[in-house]
Amino acid sequence: MRLFRRCTRISILSLLAISVFTPVFLLSFRLKNLNSDASRDFVEDLSILEKSRPEGVQHSRSIQSHPRRPLDEKVKEMKDKVIRAKAYLSFAPPDSNSHFVKEIKLRIKELERAMGDVTKDSGLSRRATQKMKAMDGTLLKASRIYPDCSAMVNTLRAMTYNAEEQLRSQRDQTSFLVQLAARTTPKGLHCLSMQLTTEYFALQPEEREFPNQHKLQDPDLYHFAVFSDNVLACSVVVNTTVSTAKDPEKIVFHIVTDSLNLPAMSMWFLMNPPGKATIQIQSIDGFEWLSIKYNEDQQKQKGLDPRYASALNHLRFYLPDIFPSVNKIVFLDHDVVVRKDLTRLWHINIKGKVNGAVETCVEGEPSFRRMDMFINFTDPSVATRFDANTCTWAYGMNVFDLQEWRKRNLTALYHKYLELV
């Protein structure tokens, strides 16, 4: 009985094992066949693609593997050869007329002419390549004639220095032009100046004259000076000064501008006369004695802010020469609006000083300025002549005693200080 039960159990377990593992075996065998077929089909598909791929696509990888040739390499090489040739040429005596000097000058001229204004290799002609080969032969000959490397280094260093100086000069000019562009007259005001200029030249010569010109040299009147090329700004200064004055008939305004704006400035005040006041308008170009001095002094001020090196700003230091018959004058900037009578300034005792102005000595105020903020006192020649703690002054309104100025000959002192710049 026991034996029968054991055999029954073994039979049941055997059937169970067969029923479980047989499907698993069949499924794995089927998957193996499917994978082998799919891989074979996939390989066949790849081979078809490889055969049908265009020739350019097949070699694209090999093309990308090569490094790209730098653009404009020949142009740069030609320019370098010209520089080397000029360096070798500088070794020859100044008056030398040897065969080598003639040859290298000819090669430089030919190569520069062949390059022209070309900046890319694609723009070079076959002739330029031929000229570069001819230059190679000449440079090789030069290296044998002048084998001293130190001389070449010094020459190239000098050429580099000259190039840097030219670059610095160009930067100064660029800075000037940028500031000039920033201060150019807006289009509307430019049209105003054009219209005024046109109307001025349409006048007869006698119609261009201002009245009361006999008062210009009278030292007993109140003389004001404005140096500007801005028509409307000058109009504001003149009209506010005259409108607030108790005795406007005693006021004489001297306006100095440039020749370009002289017709427009004159026409404006002919059309809009300043009441009972007298006005004179001059061109800075009319001061023939100033042109030579200004050109010399401008060279001394080279590198300074162009706003402060302009001719009209420079003219301030020649007030006694411009107004030889005037003893006292008030100088006004063209950005000033007058709100009170300024004729009282003539009654102020400036105690033998040349200049009377508003100080800017209050620390913390926006207008605070001191000499050490403008001048380099590390220079001993400057430190011994000026006090670093001296306050400066606002230049918008100044009273000048021209008699004292002439007595001290301050214009000559101004020229002397320019030597320190």
Indicate the domain borders of the chain: 73-179, 188-358+393-418
Distance separating alpha carbons of residues 340 and 352, to the nearest angstrom: 25
For CA atoms 187, 192, 195, 197, give the dihedral sign.
negative
* 328-332 vs 278-283, strand pairing mode: unpaired
Confidence of residue 17 (pLDDT cuts 50, 70, 90): low
pLDDT in tens, 225-245: 999 989 999 999 999 999 999
Confidence (pLDDT) at 250: 95
Confidence (pLDDT) at 2: 55
Mean pLDDT of 174-192: 64
Confidence of residue 184 (pLDDT cuts 50, 70, 90): low
Cβ within 8 Å of residue 298, ≥6 positions away = 309, 314
Confidence of residue 172 (pLDDT cuts 50, 70, 90): confident
Mean pLDDT of 50-68: 41
Report the CATH fold assignment for 188-358+393-418. Spore Coat Polysaccharide Biosynthesis Protein SpsA; Chain A (3.90.550)
pLDDT in tens, 289-310: 775 555 555 555 554 555 556 7
Residue 211 corresponds to which amino acid?
P
Mean pLDDT of 127-151: 81
Point out the least confidently predicted range of 15-24, 55-64, 65-74, 317-326: 55-64
What the block records as the tokens of 7 is 């055999």
* 328-332 vs 251-257, strand pairing mode: unpaired
pLDDT in tens, 324-363: 999 999 999 998 999 999 999 998 888 889 999 887 777 7
Confidence of residue 371 (pLDDT cuts 50, 70, 90): confident
Distance separating alpha carbons of residues 261 and 194, to the nearest angstrom: 9
The residue behind tokens 């080279």 is: 302
Confidence (pLDDT) at 65: 39
| pLDDT of 56 over the 70 cut | no
The residue behind tokens 């006999």 is: 214
Distance separating alpha carbons of residues 247 and 49, to the nearest angstrom: 104
**Higher pLDDT pick, 325 / 172:** 325
What the block records as the tokens of 338 is 């007058």
Cβ within 8 Å of residue 61, ≥6 positions away = none
Distance separating alpha carbons of residues 207 and 137, to the nearest angstrom: 75
Do residues 256 and 314 make contact, with C-beta atoms less than 8 angstroms apart? no
Average pLDDT, the chain: 77
Mean pLDDT of 57-64: 40
* 355-356 vs 251-257, strand pairing mode: unpaired
pLDDT in tens, 194-227: 889 889 999 998 999 999 999 999 999 999 999 9
* 397-401 vs 355-356, strand pairing mode: antiparallel
Confidence (pLDDT) at 42: 39
Distance of CA 264 to the CA centre of its chain: 30
The residue behind tokens 């260093």 is: 157
* 251-257 vs 222-227, strand pairing mode: parallel
What percentage of the chain carries pLDDT values higher than 90?
A: 27
- Measured torsion, CA atoms of residues 283, 284, 285, 291, in degrees rounded to the nearest 10: 170
Distance separating alpha carbons of residues 49 and 220, to the nearest angstrom: 107
